[in-house]
Amino acid sequence: MTHNIETALGVTGVEGIFRLSCEQVVQMMRRGRETLLTLLEAFVYDPLVDWTAGGEVGFAGAVYGGGGQQADSKQSKREMERDITRSLFSSRVAEIKVNWFKNRDEMLAVLPQVEEAVEEYLVLQELLCQGEKLQAKLQEEMAFLEGAENHQDHLILTLEHRYSEHTQLQSRQRTVQEAIQSKLSDLDQWISQYQAAFSNLEATQLASLLQDISSPIDLGQSHRK
């Protein structure tokens, strides 16, 4: 930029509106860099491509001899656009391939750590749940004890007396159980003796019946004589 052009920009020179305009232009070019690169690469293939819309004959058609070659020009333009798109895609893949591989390596290195962290978190979560349950239980017991201090007729105040009664009942229960067990033993002995006596009695009766059966039967012959 010459001194005269800088002076013509006004008092601010390259600052102010000129600088803001340049920054906006650069930002727009960066946002649309894909389109701009496509156009520039198309111009590298053929600077005289017909970019006019509709059926109008563009500058390229005039240079190539009028509208007679318009169909061929459109066909070649589509093929060129396809080649350009493929080339841009290949270049884009080549550009981001390094980052992709780097991201893959980082993920492979980080995933085991994430898995360990998740397992540790689950263990801590389980411990936390157990701690919360224990805390709730302790708070419930604390509230129960505080209620005993505030109420004279609380159940915990009669705990000693009720425990003594429970102990006495257990002692009586054991005594009764021992007595019942002793009676059961006596009954078992009586049952054994009764069974033995019945067995002897049955054997005696059976012997008497056998003797009666083996004796001759009197059919009245003695009266005939």
For 212, the 3-state DSSP assignment is helix
Which is higher by pLDDT, 44 or 196? Answer: 196
- Please tell me the predicted confidence (pLDDT) of residue 74: 67
Cα 75 from Cα 69, distance rounded (Å): 10
Cα 102 from Cα 100, distance rounded (Å): 5
- Please tell me the predicted confidence (pLDDT) of residue 57: 45
- Please tell me the predicted confidence (pLDDT) of residue 108: 93
Q: How many CB atoms lie within 10 A of CB 168?
A: 10
Mean pLDDT of 32-39: 78
Q: Which residue has the tokens 């009666």?
A: 212
Task: Give the residue among 92, 88, 87, 54 at the shortest CA–CA distance from 70.
Answer: 54
- Please tell me the predicted confidence (pLDDT) of residue 152: 75
Mean pLDDT of 168-178: 93
Break the chain into its structural domains and give their ranges: 1-31
pLDDT at 44 over 50: yes
Query: What's the pLDDT tens digit per position in 84-126?
Result: 888 888 888 888 888 889 999 999 999 999 999 999 999 999 9
Query: What's the pLDDT tens digit per position in 127-171?
Result: 999 999 999 999 988 888 887 777 777 777 777 888 899 999 999
pTM of the model: 0.33
Q: How many CB atoms lie within 10 A of CB 62?
A: 12
